[in-house]
Structure 1
């Protein structure tokens, strides 16, 4: 008798678990993000820590070609996108190439890691993470190519940068938005799988070392 009772209890628990999942369809995005964030926060192996090939120079044409190749888009569409940024801010002081994961169900999280490269050719490891809150839903895994403006010292990048995260504009499969702190402006361009819809207000915290705590 007790065996039958236990089986019914287990069935009820499974049923409730399934029902709960139906009420929170975005939960799977956050669970996947936690798993991917863990992978991004674990220090890379020696082979993975090797920096990518340096950009030949920081001319507009070279940055367009480099970004298109890295993000997997055409040079024509990338030129159209970057022309909008160049016309407003000019040639960047540095670039960041990296990969990231994000997910949101009103409240969202983003984790990433990559390489900061300055105009003089020096390269530095960089990690970023942060929360967002607003009218936003979805999840994605993406490569990012970021133009950095107003960076006088490398140390100044390792701070929090706020902005509107929800694609200031979207062209050719690439989303672009802006982050800013004081006179430093970041223009991340992202291309990848998934979808982030809506507009969310949050920040990204850039650090030298990996970590999982987003705040």
Structure 2
């Protein structure tokens, strides 16, 4: 073999070996094994129940609730407390006598159209308010320096109704003689009629004089009496000592 032939043979061998060398790739065994695992998509796992956000319902709107009035259950007649409930209801609705009622009642004592009667009642009601009872009656009295008074009539209570009453009382004044008079007594704050049967001294309230009528202020505790008299002049204002009421007639005035 000549030199030239050997050189061509070596060059041919290099040309044939070049593509084989270019196709050789070095592979790491561990990487090659894990590559097929990494290529596959991993399934997503749901977060633990403790980490899930709480379920929230969408807000809903409701119409506002209107409060309904509560009416007390009626008390059946004859049931325990029925009488007390009826008395309380009557007292709240109409616990006092009105001006028109008082004028009609007073005219029954003094006569219809008595001059000055409406005026003195209006003055008293303006100052004291409406009474819850009144007494319609008459009395006789006499005095020689020291006077005595005896009277009787009917009390009309707005809640407890009608009952008979009597009264006596001494007086000290500057007049002489005797008289008989009609009396109309306005009674305030008398919630138990038995509280009337006591002694009521003359109080420090106003004394009223309108026309031929006069009235004085008497008080015991919270109960107030204002007797209206006709034709007694100054006597009721100056010498009225006290009035002591009772359920029966009494002759001793003290």
TM-score, shorter chain, exceeding 0.5: yes
Structure 1 residue 82 corresponds to structure 2 residue 124: no
SS in structure 2 at match of 1:199: helix
Structure 1 residue 175 corresponds to structure 2 residue 226: no
Structure 1 residue 161 corresponds to structure 2 residue 200: yes
Question: What do the CA deviations read for 1:85-123 (whole angstroms, capped 9, x no partner)?
Answer: 101111101010111001112100000011111013611
Unpaired segments of 5 or more residues in structure 2? 1-95
TM-score by length of 1: 0.66
Query: Does 155-164 or 70-79 show the bigger shift?
Result: 70-79
Structure 1 residue 105 corresponds to structure 2 residue 158: no
Shift of 1:201: 4.7
Shift of 1:154: 0.5
How many matched pairs? Answer: 157
Query: Does 194-203 or 147-156 show the bigger shift?
Result: 194-203
SS in structure 1 at match of 2:202: strand
Shift of 1:141: 0.2
Larger radius of gyration: 2
Query: Aligned partners of 2:129, 2:203: CA distance in 1, in Å?
Result: 21
Match of 2:229 among 184, 187, 190: 190
Question: What do the CA deviations read for 1:128-162 (whole angstroms, capped 9, x no partner)?
Answer: 00111233444210111110001111010000000
Alignment CA distance shift 1:76-1:60 (3 Å): farther
SS in structure 2 at match of 1:65: helix
SS in structure 2 at match of 1:85: helix
Alignment CA distance shift 1:71-1:131 (3 Å): same
Structure 1 stretches of at least 4 aligned residues deviating more than 6 Å after TM superposition:
none
Q: Which has the higher strand share?
A: 1
Alignment CA distance shift 1:164-1:84 (3 Å): same
Query: Does 74-83 or 142-151 show the bigger shift?
Result: 74-83
1:35 is matched with which residue? none
Shift of 1:190: 1.3
1:62 is matched with which residue? 101
2:180 is matched with which residue? 141
SS in structure 2 at match of 1:156: helix
Q: Kindly indicate whether the alpha-carbon contact (under 8 Å) linking 1:140 and 1:196 is maintained by their aligned counterparts in 2.
A: no
1:72 is matched with which residue? 111
SS in structure 2 at match of 1:74: coil
Unpaired segments of 5 or more residues in structure 1? 1-56
Query: Aligned partners of 2:108, 2:135: CA distance in 1, in Å?
Result: 14
